[in-house]
Structure 1
Amino acid sequence: MTKQKKRVNVASIVVMLALVSLIFTGCAKNTGTPEVTGTAAPTKQADASTPDEEKVLPPLKLEIMVPAFNTELPDSNSPVIKALEEYTNTEVHMQFVPNSSYPDKANITLVSGQLPHLMVLDRNSASYINAARSGAFWEIGSYLKDYPNLSMANEIILNNSSVDGKTYGIYRGRVLGRMGVTVNRDWLANVGMTAPTTMDEFYDMLKAFKENDPDQNGKNDTYGMVVTKYTGPWDIMQTWFGAPNKWGEDASGQLLPTHLFPEYREALTFFKKLYDEGLVNEDFAVMDPAAWSDPVISGKAGVIVDVADVSRRIDNSMQDKAKRDVPYTDVFQAPVGPNGHRDMPTSGYANLIAISKSSVKTEDDLKRVLKFLDQLGDPEMQLLLGYGIEGRHYELVDGHIKALTTAEDTSLIKEMESLNQILTFVGPAAPTIEMTTINKKIDEVQAANISIVVGNPAEPLISEVYAKQGQQMDNIIADARIQYIVGQIDDAGLDAAIELWKKNGGNEYIAEINELYAASK
């Protein structure tokens, strides 16, 4: 064959491929996918080093179970889900479960053995630990180095989220010093106060928010702090008093759980005082966490103790109702307690994403799932799943994210609601939200917290006793704390509950943790 003929054949092939491309482009316009205005959703470019056979693999079908924080949730026609599927070459079915019932649903799912490919799980739950040890999930520690983003996982956080030193899921990364005290900025000014720096000042602020008409409407219709059946605020404030973060060393160096320290009881005494004086909502033990910020947004309560960034979310909601240049909220570090300046850290992660062996059956399948998880760490996916589609849900201004949606844009918010729950934040940094006044303050608080957070020395230790009896033991203490705060039991009743905890596995739990602690040293 002559060189001229070869050139002709190549040209014919190029023309043919171009025609095929036009045909498929025309078909794609009739797929029924909703039209998306603004900048196109991210599309993953083909990797030149990827083998040809990998390029033509059919989409990977994935069922993913995650907690949801709203009732209006994306369906399969969501342009955000469509963009996720295109970027990762997958067909994704999201199984959303209300956050308030997620632990129960997770336990039922684990017991059933019918697991989705991926599911968010609490590493500390006995059901997850038992499932991991019985081989329900892939151990992925040795694979992480093979993926550009997953290989960036923090070794300390991997250890914290491990079971018996083995990695059965990729953690969902979080800021370590994330906690803060969110306050209604106007109320604080109206009662003539500044940010509380001591426990006495914190109490005085809550009391003023109830008694000094902070909203200046002439009515006695406000209170200090809103709490729900989510126990996080009590756990956080306990550390302010000097109680350990779950476990701490006593004078002899033995590890004990926080409820066996005198500082724990000092904290409960303070909580009871707040309750008795009406400075917290009396229905806290049954209030749905989904409605946690509502009393602050509606002007009934003035304080939330939680992650610092809740202040931004509350301010956004209040800005949606009445836009103004000055934030409605402010956020501060924990006040200094009787035993110094302390605060509760996160563990560096909020639950983890585990890969089921019953649904992901082969190592080749596992590698495709790991590639998917790895791609979720790309900045493009962090933006897509966290903020939606550029030009539709947000825009970039000077390299920062500015939301285009408000609380009234329910149909737009629905397209991306709770999809951020599959983000691991293991990978390179993505653009952040615009540096408004409140966002700068959040960053300052979180950075300052690093020097005052209190670690949990038992964090990586896995107890056999707890795996079997942990839920029952936790319930004993959690119920007793609520009963003490609302006055249903006194100190003698609290002592009785602690003795019941000890008899129902607590003593064995302490002994086992200390054996594991000694071995870890």
Structure 2
Amino acid sequence: MKKFFSKAICFTIMLMLLSSTVGCGSGTSNEGDNGAKVNDSTEQDVSKKNKGPQVELKVAVFDRGTKGYVADNNFQTKWIQEKFGDPNNIKVTFVPIPRAQEVDKLKVLMASNQAPDICFTYTDSVVVDFAKNGGLTDLTELIDKNAPNLKKFLGEDLLSYGRWDNIQYAVPAKRVMVAAESTFIRKDWLDKVGLPVPKTTDEFYNAMKAFKEKDPGKLGGKVIPYTFAVDPNNLMWGVSPLLDSFKEKISEEDTYSLPNWLVPGFKEGMRFLNKMYNEGLLDPKFATDDGKHNDDNISKGLAGAFIHTFDLTYRAGSFSDKIKTVAPEGQYIPIDPFVNKEGKHLKFKFNPNGLFIIVPKTSQRAAEAIKYLEWMADPEVLFYLQNGEKGVHYLDEKNGIPVNIIPNDKLADDNKANFIDLSIIVNGKEFGSEDKNVEAASYGFPGYEELYKQAYSAAMNDASFMPHLDRAIESKAKYSKVLGEKEVETFIKTITCKPAEFDKTYDTLIQEYLKAGGQQVIDETRAAYKAMKK
């Protein structure tokens, strides 16, 4: 009897332990917050019947101040709660962050240990600083074990952009449109001077000379054949495809390590700009322009050619619309004339990453955070978050792409949407292939759809990503201000000096650049490249 009673007690305790195991926990994983395993559908059914306390996952969201749209309480956030939160026993709380104060607000939240479980920023240096100071969760194992669809969607190359010192500190969002710059020219002016569309650098130069000498726009000497501005934060914007065509082939190590100024051939590209300036083919005010004067040159029909963001020319109310108010026959078309010795039209494209998604070290919901991103990688989930509901947010579909999209100001407040900020694993609308993505994007440029596609194609032709290291270059941050100022000075002075003074001016300024910290940046970058390759 005693023996039987003892066995009964053991059996009862066992039942209590089993019941406790099923009833407790977050329901997000079989192994608590460290989440070595994500629930399958069967486990989720069990969790619905035996739910413990609901856990909270806090997710940052940009607040853009859209009238009538509440960033943390709208049809999308409610849908996320219904489709992701409720089945996984998670309360998803969205934390609005003003878009214009993104970095400053994030730094304050991180410093006070009040940051949401899922944060993000576009600024990689901010992520590096957080990582160096021990403020970020290592996501490597969580992603490897729990996020196969996310890994497939992003790909190893893209994921590497969120990895420093071989640790996955961030999940980089996929940038859908990586095209950067295209070159544009006045097609009506070409026709008037009797020249074909330029296909080489020499033909481009000849067209600029003809625009200057023949004044096809009848502007009475106000013509500016080629216009660009000086942007200290992106100095080569507006000239880089031209300058890249002069560069000579170098080793991969030098590609990572050398600044443009020291790449063989780059000096000759600057000499070419110097020649154009001294022949009156460039805007004489470029050195003091913050960009507004340059845009006015284009909009007012004074410019013959320019290099700009590939799609800007065809946006509603932009250059192609504005020029028709002063020159009804005016037409800017995309061209790709700058070609190097190997017949390549070299140019850069934007890195494949958009947002950097991070989980603060203080978060207790790293497993739930990765599960949220994994759920979002489902094509159906992504489609809804980025497009909404047919008949409510768009009326028709063309090749699986929503068309006749209803703008926010035509929607009731409870249907207003933000289709770019809640699908955080992707920047831009994703439809599964480059062709469909470009087709979908072109619908946003009514009347210019084909020109948009041509501009995209030109921007992507022979384009390559900028070199990416898996570690921070401390000297680059240390000397960034002084080197940035020296680069602006070098750029302006080598373009505007007399041709006979070009070599001396260029060489002197480059030596000053190296002494101001440039050589240390080169040396540290070269060492980092070698370490990365090991």
Fold conserved between structures, TM > 0.5: yes
SS at match of 2:99: strand
Mapped contact 1:334–1:341 kept (Cα < 8 A) = no
Q: Which moved more, 1:293-302 or 1:474-483?
A: 293-302
Shift in Å at residue 474 of structure 1? 3.7
Larger mean Cα displacement after TM superposition, 263-272 or 463-472: 463-472
Residues 242-257 of structure 1 correspond to what in structure 2 (within 5 A)?
A: 242=247, 255-257=257-259
1:119 maps to what in 2? 120
Query: Distance between the aligned counterparts of 1:507 and 1:361, measured in 2?
Result: 40
Asked if 1:172 is matched to 2:173, the reply is yes
| 1:336 shift after superposition | 0.9
- Relative to structure 1, is the Cα distance of residues 304 and 278 closer, same or farther in structure 2, using a 3 angstrom cutoff? closer
Q: Contact conserved, 1:187 with 1:209, CA < 8 A, in 2?
A: yes
Q: Distance in 2 between matches of 1:73 and 1:294?
A: 29
Give the secondary structure class of the aligned counterpart of 1:481. Answer: helix
Equivalence for 2:244: 239
Q: 1:218 to 1:492 in 2, by over 3 A?
A: closer
Q: How far did 1:502 drift? A: 2.3
Which of 75, 95, 99 matches 2:98? 95
1:195-210 alignment runs, 5 A limit = 195-209=197-211
> Is the 1:243–1:258 contact (alpha carbons within 8 Å) kept by the matching residues of 2?
no
The residue type equivalent to 1:441 in the other structure is Q
- Asked if structure 2 preserves the Cα contact closer than 8 Å seen for 1:330 and 1:438, the reply is yes
Distance of aligned partners of 1:405 and 1:339 in 2 relative to their CA distance in 1, 3 Å threshold: farther
Percent identity over paired residues: 19
State the TM-score, normalized to the length of structure 1. 0.67
Alignment match of 1:424 (pick from 408, 423, 426): 426
> What CA distance in whole angstroms lies between the structure 1 residues aligned with 2:356 and 2:198?
38
Q: Name the counterpart of 1:26.
A: none
- Distance across 1 between alignment mates of 2:529 and 2:408: 48
Larger CA Rg, structure 1 vs 2 = 2
Q: Cα offset for 1:97?
A: 1.7
CA RMSD of aligned residues (A): 4.9
Indicate conservation of the 8 Å contact 2:71/2:96, yes or no.
no
Q: Distance in 2 between matches of 1:284 and 1:340?
A: 31
**Match status 1:484 vs 2:494:** yes
Output the TM-score relative to the length of structure 2.
Answer: 0.66
Of the candidates 473, 484, 488, which is equivalent to residue 463 of structure 1? 473
* Structure-to-structure mapping, 1:63-82, within 5 angstroms: 63-64=60-61, 73-74=65-66, 77=69, 82=74
Paired position in structure 1 for 2:88 = none
Report if the CA contact (8 A) 2:299-2:318 is conserved. no
Counterpart CA distance in 1 for 2:291 and 2:108 is 23
How far the C-alpha of 1:199 sits from its partner, in A, is 1.0
Residues in 2 aligned to 1:48 and 1:317: alpha-carbon distance in whole angstroms = 56
Can you list the C-alpha shifts for 1:1-30, whole angstroms capped at 9, x where unaligned?
xxxxxxxxxxxxxxxxxxxxxxxxxxxxxx
Q: Give me the whole-angstrom Cα distance separating, in 1, the residues matched to 2:303 and 2:409.
A: 23
* Matching residue of 2:509: 497
Cα–Cα, structure 1 residues 281 and 387, in superposed 2: closer, same or farther, change >3 Å? farther
* AA matched with 1:239: D
Question: Aligned match of 1:84 in 76, 79, 84?
Answer: 76
User: What SS does the corresponding residue of 2:141 show, helix, strand or coil?
Assistant: coil
Work out which of the residue numbers 433, 437, 440 in structure 1 matches 2:450: 437
Q: 1:73–1:483: structure 2 CA closer, same or farther, 3 Å change rule?
A: farther
Separation (CA, whole Å) in 1 of partners of 2:294 and 2:491: 20
> In the alignment, is residue 332 of structure 1 matched against residue 332 of structure 2?
no
Q: For the residues of structure 1 that align with 2:183 and 2:52, how far apart are their CA atoms?
A: 50
CA, structure 1 residues 453+393, in 2 after alignment: closer, same or farther (shift >3 Å)?
same
Post-superposition CA distance 1:342-377 (Å, at most 9, x none): 42233642453242516x622x2x333334444555
Whole-Å Cα distance in 1 between the matches of residues 193 and 112 of structure 2? Answer: 56
Cα shift at 1:455: 5.9
* Matched position secondary structure for 1:506: helix
Q: 1:405 to 1:462 in 2, by over 3 A?
A: same
In 1, are the aligned partners of 2:376 and 2:382 still within 8 Å (CA)? yes
> Any stretches of 5+ residues in structure 1 without a counterpart?
1-45, 67-71
Q: Secondary structure at the match of 1:511?
A: helix
Structure 2 equivalent of residue 27 of structure 1: none
Distance 1:301 1:242 in 2: 27
Q: Which AA in structure 2 matches 1:144? A: I
Provide, for residues 238-294 of structure 1, a one-character-per-residue CA deviation record: whole Å limited to 9, x for no partner: 21211679x9656xx9953321134222222223344442534724654258x9766
In structure 1, the residue matched to 2:368 is: 368
Distance 1:122 1:349 in 2: 14
Correspondence for 1:349: 352
Which residue of structure 2 lines up, in the alignment, with residue 282 of structure 1? 285
